[in-house]
Amino acid sequence: MARRTSNPQTSQQTSQQSSFGAQSKVSRRKFLASAAVAGAAAGAASAAQAATAPDPIAPARPPSATRPSAMVAAAEVGNPNALPAAAKNGAAGSDFMVDVIKSLDIKYLPCNPASSFRAIHESLINYGGNKQPEFLTCTHEEAAVAMCHGYFKIAGKPLMTLVHGTVGLQHATMAIYNAWCDRVPVIVLGGTDLDAAHRPPGVPTIHSAIDINALVRDFTKWDDQPTSLQHFAQSMVRAYRFAMTPPYEPVAIALDAELQESAIRAEGEKLYIPRYIASGPPAGDPNAVREAARLLANAERPVIVADRAARTANGMKLLVELAELLQAPVVDQGGRMNFPNTHHLRRAPTVIRQADVVLGLELTDFWATVNGQIDNGENDGHGIQESRIKPGAKLISINSVELHTKANYQDFQRFQVVDVGMAADAEATLPSLIEAVRAAIPNDRKAGIEKRGEASRKAKEEARTRTLQVAAIGWDATPISTARLCMEIWPHIKDLDWSMVGSERQMSSWPSRLWKMEKHYSHIGGPGGYGVGYNSPAAVGAALANRDLGRFSLNLQTDGDMMYVPGVLWTAARHQIPMLTVMHNNRGYHQETMHVQRMSNRRDRVAYNGKDLGALGTRIENPDIDYAALAKSMGWWSAGPITDPKDVGPIIKKAVEVVKSGQPALVDTVTQPR
Amino acid sequence: MHRFVIRAALAAVAALALGGAALAAGSPDKGKAAFIKHGCFQCHGTVGQGSVVTSLGKVLYDTELPLEAFIAFVRGTNRAMPPYSDKILSDADLTDIHAYLTSLPKPADYKTIPLLNQP
């Protein structure tokens, strides 16, 4: 019989009175940890109940830890000995926390271990049976968060991670910022020890702070530092709900060590697990929807631009419906897989120049969608700023980010005036917008709309021919052209249920230009915050989600990004996450090479390369990194470096078979810069 | 593309205005070395194939700019591509680079490449 956990559908808040008054002589901290658990609803078991009615199959639970001693503190930097005797007063507080976490159905926990959350760690693997969530060992917190990030973009469900409250959170911050900018929910729990009078001296004190979440408050949607177990239960459910309401964003909860480690007392407050009910996504105001529909229905050349519009498969379907209704070209900026690239209405961004109405759906940067900046040092160094649209063009924006943004970090981008703005979720607004457009299209315009579609079909075919001809340039070149690399991969994956789990932008977006992409998981977009170090761990997280769905995961991986958290390769091997990683190894931080070249030219100086092939400090060569050896050392099947394009296909074929057998495989190819 | 043609034409006019002094024939081998050393390949690829990201789709392998116009363009460009003065790339270097680019073989018709004709 499996251990029962609280059921989120049946648990509810009880009306039982808190016994705070009866405990008035107990210190507040002790009291907060000394609540009794009450399974409020039938069938809902609690940590306390489990402690008195042990599972007949599961072995006796080892006790939770007490306060760390000086010896334990010293063990922070060594091999810990056996911990002191357990709390005697009942089940561990962290067991109750596990019940709360289980109620949210969180499947995995990518995590790098740390002493500040040792109690909940112990509860998760022993009391919780290492299921829902399953612990995935990570070698860096940045990798753990980015795995959560990638996982969500395939599974549509958030993961949680645990981090040391200070140093671990510091490692995690860049990945949290990426998730923030990419509108992805990640639940970050940070261990800390608040009691300055009693916490162990030395390292545990160094690793504590009075407000750990201050570090990430500018780029998390919400954070809290619970001071009782009941407070924790409410905060977890609240955090989950906030994170999962568009705009999706990461959240942070601080976990006090004493709250985790102390026992739940038999007397005191009745604990309960609040029921999680998802909030509906915010849809656009009906009047604004009608006005947007009027503009679109009467436009001569409407253009739809989508960035993170399609949150689900249905989002893509809705966008296709709207585009076909208007026969309007769609520019997919690629934050998500918004629109099938085989559709005749999918067009290149240049089509925006002709638009008289532009509908922007969850755009990261509306300004840069309709304006350009040439970074040439003119205008006192600001560069040339120029409009990319016709004068008088009307702009419509539907963007949920306006509902929740913050001041410090500038991810909200430059300000763009729009004619109709809706602070709303695009996918949730599309059904009403489609109906409003359908009603607003005058009968005498319908023939003209059909003609737009014919023109788009012709333009699409011509663009396809041009793309294929450009792909042929440098076909036999060494280093290998990125177009050739993509087309050497394609025959080996095209008949599989494949999903591209890495970013393609560093490869001139050849996959989107050459491969057939029609599923909402054909690609998952990029990092959001452009923090390098996202791709390799996010790809592993997305591959984990694909593994559970029976899909084949392909990751096109840049070398610079790989070297931030290469340890994630080990995590993939350790937890048997099959995926094919093909290295786009251009042996450099290519963008930075071009930036230094630009600055050198502007200052009329020769860029100093030293012994490298680009500006000093921007290349990853001398010595060249052997990525195949790196992957092999972490348990991957690997091959390379491959320099001759003719060798790519046969190796990819072999690697695909390895991945289909359940292993991760890496093929290192030495490539052109982009 | 249209904008590039205009700029190329202006560059050609500028080159004529400068007198268009006769330049010696360039060396494709030296031009390839200069193309790599001075970072041209970072945006344009080693065989001038370009990129939608770094060269806005412009390819160089089939440049039709005469040498003088080519040099004038490289000296005077002031948009996405930064200008290269003669302190960075001499006329001789640019002559060699031009020779390299014009020596590149025409790519095969994509219709003859099986991998580019898959469904």
Chain B: closest CA distance from residue A73 (Å): 52
Q: For residue A617, how many other CB atoms are within 10 A of its CB?
A: 12
Q: Which residues pair with A670 in a beta bridge?
A: A585
Best to test chain B binding among A489, A508, A598 (most B CBs inside 10 Å): A508
Of all residues in chain B, the one with the smallest CA distance to A470 is B49
> Alpha-carbon distance A187 to A171, whole Å?
15
- Mean pLDDT calculated for residue range A450-472: 95
User: Tens digit of pLDDT for each residue in A223-264?
Assistant: 999 999 999 999 999 999 999 999 999 999 999 999 999 998
For residue A3, is pLDDT > 80?
no
Query: Burial level of A240, CB count in 10 A (0-12/13-18/19+)?
Result: buried
Of all residues in chain B, the one with the smallest CA distance to A386 is B79
List chain B residues with CB under 8 Å of A483: 49
Q: Which residues pair with A499 in a beta bridge?
A: A553
- Reported as half-sphere exposure (CB side, CA atoms, 13 A), residue A330 has a value of 28
Residue A514 in tokens? 């050459």
Q: Is B116 on the interface with A (CB under 8 A)?
A: yes
List chain A residues with CB under 8 Å of B43: 594, 673-674
Q: Is B42 on the interface with A (CB under 8 A)?
A: yes
User: Tens digit of pLDDT for each residue in A301-337?
Assistant: 999 999 999 999 999 999 999 999 999 999 999 999 9
Q: Is B2 on the interface with A (CB under 8 A)?
A: no
For residue A48, is pLDDT > 70?
no
Compare A72 and B95 and report the one with higher pLDDT. B95
ipTM: 0.85
Least confident of A81-90, A636-645, B102-111: A81-90
Three-point CA angle A234, A240, A241, nearest 5°: 90
List chain A residues with CB under 8 Å of B79: 374, 376, 384
Q: For residue A644, how many other CB atoms are within 10 A of its CB?
A: 11
List chain B residues with CB under 8 Å of A464: none
Q: Is B119 on the interface with A (CB under 8 A)?
A: yes
Chain A: closest CA distance from residue B45 (Å): 6
List chain A residues with CB under 8 Å of B109: 469, 472
For residue A89, is pLDDT > 80?
no
Most trustworthy range by pLDDT among A60-69, A204-213, B18-27: A204-213
CB–CB contact B87 A604 (8 Å): yes
Q: What is the structure's pLDDT at A314?
A: 97
CA dihedral (A493, A495, A500, A504) positive or negative: positive
CB–CB contact A594 B43 (8 Å): yes
For residue A100, is pLDDT > 50?
yes
CA dihedral (A415, A420, A423, A426) positive or negative: negative
* DSSP 8-state code for residue A646: G
Using an 8 Å Cβ cutoff, are A167 and A225 in contact?
no
User: Tens digit of pLDDT for each residue in A61-88?
Assistant: 444 434 445 544 454 444 433 333 344 4
For residue A10, is pLDDT > 70?
no
Max Cα-Cα span within chain B: 53
Compare B81 and A357 and report the one with higher pLDDT. A357
**Domains (ranges, CATH) in chain A?**
21-56+92-271 (3.40.50.970), 286-458 (3.40.50.1220), 472-587+624-670 (3.40.50.970)
Which amino acid, one-letter code, is at A134? E
Chain B: closest CA distance from residue A651 (Å): 16
Q: What is the structure's pLDDT at A70?
A: 56
Of all residues in chain A, the one with the smallest CA distance to B88 is A606
Chain B: closest CA distance from residue A463 (Å): 12
If phi > 0 it is left, if psi is from -120 to 50 it is alpha, else beta; for residue A160 that is beta
> Alpha-carbon distance B37 to A229, whole Å?
63
Q: Taking each helix axis as running N to C, give the angle between helix B91-103 and helix B67-76, from 0 to 180 degrees, rounded to the nearest 10.
A: 120
List chain B residues with CB under 8 Å of A350: none
> Alpha-carbon distance A510 to A490, whole Å?
11
For residue A4, is pLDDT > 50?
no
CB–CB contact B54 A594 (8 Å): yes
List chain A residues with CB under 8 Å of B61: 473-474
For residue A514, is pLDDT > 60?
yes
Which amino acid, one-letter code, is at A193? D
User: Tens digit of pLDDT for each residue in A408-430?
Assistant: 999 999 999 999 999 999 999 99
List chain B residues with CB under 8 Å of A613: 36
Q: Is B85 on the interface with A (CB under 8 A)?
A: yes
Phi then psi dihedrals of residue B83, to 5 deg: -70, 150
The residues spanned by each domain of chain B are 2-107
Kindly indicate the confidence band of residue B56, based on its pLDDT and cuts at 50, 70 and 90: confident
Residue A519 in tokens? 């599923």
> Does the N-terminal peptide bond of residue A623 adopt cis geometry, omega within 30 degrees of 0?
yes
Question: The whole model's pTM is what?
Answer: 0.88
Of all residues in chain B, the one with the smallest CA distance to A478 is B46
CATH architecture of B2-107: Orthogonal Bundle (1.10)
List chain B residues with CB under 8 Å of A473: 45, 47-50, 59, 61, 107
For residue A31, is pLDDT > 70?
no
Residue A347 in tokens? 């067009």
User: CA A455 → CA A371, A445, A483, distances in Å?
Assistant: 25, 16, 28
Query: Burial level of A623, CB count in 10 A (0-12/13-18/19+)?
Result: exposed
> Exposure string (b/e) for A201-224, b if CB count within 10 Å is 16 or more?
eebbeebbbeebbebbeebbbbbb
Closest CA to A47 of A93, A107, A85: A93
> Alpha-carbon distance A544 to B96, whole Å?
51
Closest CA to A88 of A271, A265, A269, A270: A265
Q: What is the structure's pLDDT at B2?
A: 45
Using an 8 Å Cβ cutoff, are A612 and A619 in contact?
yes
For residue A473, is pLDDT > 90?
yes
End-to-end Cα distance, chain B: 29
Chain A: closest CA distance from residue B96 (Å): 18
CB–CB contact B47 A473 (8 Å): yes
Kindly indicate the confidence band of residue A269, based on its pLDDT and cuts at 50, 70 and 90: low
List chain B residues with CB under 8 Å of A505: 53
Strands A384-387, A371-374: parallel, antiparallel or unpaired by DSSP?
A: antiparallel
> Alpha-carbon distance A179 to A637, whole Å?
30
User: Tens digit of pLDDT for each residue in A346-396?
Assistant: 999 999 999 999 999 999 999 999 999 988 888 888 888 999 999 999 999
For residue A501, is pLDDT > 80?
yes
The secondary structure element, H or E, covering residue A282 is none
> CB-CB: which of A477, A487, A607 is closest to B39?
A607
User: Tens digit of pLDDT for each residue in A105-157?
Assistant: 999 999 999 999 999 999 999 999 999 999 999 999 999 999 999 999 999 99
> Alpha-carbon distance A110 to A568, whole Å?
10
CB–CB contact A487 B47 (8 Å): no
Closest CA to A102 of A94, A110, A112: A94
List chain A residues with CB under 8 Å of B114: none
CB–CB contact B43 A673 (8 Å): yes
CB–CB contact B110 A471 (8 Å): yes
Averaged pLDDT score across all residues of chain A: 88
> Alpha-carbon distance A152 to A157, whole Å?
5
Residue A389 in tokens? 């649209």
Q: What is the structure's pLDDT at A17?
A: 30
Chain B: closest CA distance from residue A673 (Å): 6
Which single residue is written with the structure tokens 């390299």? B100
Torsion of the alpha carbons at A666, A670, A674 and B5, rounded to the nearest 10: -150
Kindly indicate the confidence band of residue A185, based on its pLDDT and cuts at 50, 70 and 90: very high
Q: How large a percentage of chain A has pLDDT more than 70?
A: 86
Chain A: closest CA distance from residue B25 (Å): 24
> Alpha-carbon distance A451 to A672, whole Å?
41
